[in-house]
Amino acid sequence: MAEITNFRGEAIADTPETQTEREVAALIQRVGDRVRRARERKGIPRRVLSEMSGVSPRYLAQLEAGEGNISIGLLQRVAIALDHRIEWLVGEEDPWTSEPLRVSELFRGSSSDVQRKVVDILSPASAESRRAHRLCLVGLRGAGKSTLGGLVADRLDIPFVELNTEIEEQAGMPVDEVMALYGQEGYRKLEAQAISRVIATHDAMVLAVAGGIVAEPATYNRLLTHFHTIWLKTTPDEHMARVRAQGDERPMAGNPEAMEQLRSILTSREALYSKAEAQLDTSGKTLDGSLDQLLGMIEDRGFLD
């Protein structure tokens, strides 16, 4: 068995355990070096980084010296304060010299249109083959995604899936509890995972998603890439009336400005919803009328051909 020396110059056996210890020590040293470099590049004093991250100056000093075995939770807070992803601090590739990581950061910071073009260029399959026979209905609550989605799936004899149901099954709890326990960020991660799962398990389906999915660029781009998307839209008054007709009084409860907020949300998301391949305005239409129009749109555009 090979021998190595410890820090006192004493010969010790090079066992799997000592190899692991060296790898851990190298990781801690690498993380500390990258935190220091990121902080210096941004011109942030350690004291300021401590205030931003909630990690003590003494702990940060130990970390940067390669002596602090920091927890994942604290390291995540440091990464957020430095405006870096935690992968940059722990990965083997140097984030400041690695071309793939640089391209990844440029992709994440680019517009939705640019991201879709990049995906189209890099993906060997055509856009149509990637979308297969998957349909996705997007829009605000009350637009008719669940009702029309289920009816369309029945008519076309393909599965209907509500993404929030997938998220609940994955998390083992209702969406409200997911939000309470893990917050918006935790919910968005589960949402992205659920999208990947339904893509992997369904070549033909109708999917209904929560209205806010369009605010998460990476997830929404994945949706646009792998589904034929249809924006179901209606007026703010009808949105609110339909939600209340379902027995949900939350939008108005104790909030006299709820309608104005709804209009603001609809306006702010309009450009994102309009990235869908097709749009169907259900305002003032009967359920049967909207269903016939939606089925006709699917047939005319060849979404299932």
- Has residue 247 got a pLDDT over 60? no
Alpha-carbon distance of 73 to 157, in angstroms, equals 46
Residues 301 and 228 sit within 8 Å (Cβ to Cβ): yes
Alpha-carbon distance of 286 to 283, in angstroms, equals 9
User: What domains sit in the chain, N to C, each tagged with a CATH number?
Assistant: 3-109 (1.10.260.40), 112-300 (3.40.50.300)
Strands laid side by side in the 204-208 sheet = 160-162, 204-208, 133-138, 228-233, 278-281
Q: What is the pLDDT of residues 115-142, one digit of tens each?
A: 767 776 776 566 667 888 999 999 988 8
- Has residue 16 got a pLDDT over 80? no
Which stretches does DSSP call E strand in the chain?
Answer: 3-5, 11-13, 133-138, 160-162, 204-208, 228-233, 278-281
- Has residue 36 got a pLDDT over 60? yes
Q: For position 150, what pLDDT does the model report? A: 96
Which two structure tokens, joined as six digits, stand for 46? 């350690």
* Residues sharing a CB contact under 8 Å with residue 151, sequence separation 6 or more, in sequence order: 287, 291
- Has residue 32 got a pLDDT over 70? yes
Q: What is the pLDDT of residues 186-232, one digit of tens each?
A: 899 999 999 999 999 999 999 999 988 998 888 999 999 999 999 99
DSSP codes of every residue in 55-104: --HHHHHHHHTT-----HHHHHHHHHHTT--HHHHHSSS-TTT-HHHHHH
What's the alpha-carbon Rg for the chain, to the nearest Å?
25
Q: For position 167, what pLDDT does the model report? A: 93
Q: For position 42, what pLDDT does the model report? A: 83
Q: Which of 139, 263, 272 is nearest to 216 (CA)?
A: 272
End-to-end Cα separation, the chain, in angstroms: 65
Place of tokens 């011109």: 43
Residues 53 and 64 sit within 8 Å (Cβ to Cβ): no
Which two structure tokens, joined as six digits, stand for 189? 């991660």
Q: How distant, in Å, are the alpha carbons of 16, 105, 116, 189 from that of 216?
A: 43, 16, 14, 10
Indicate the pairing of strand 228-233 with strand 204-208: unpaired
Q: Read off the pLDDT band of 41 (50, 70, 90).
A: confident
Q: What is the mean pLDDT of the chain?
A: 82
- Has residue 289 got a pLDDT over 80? yes
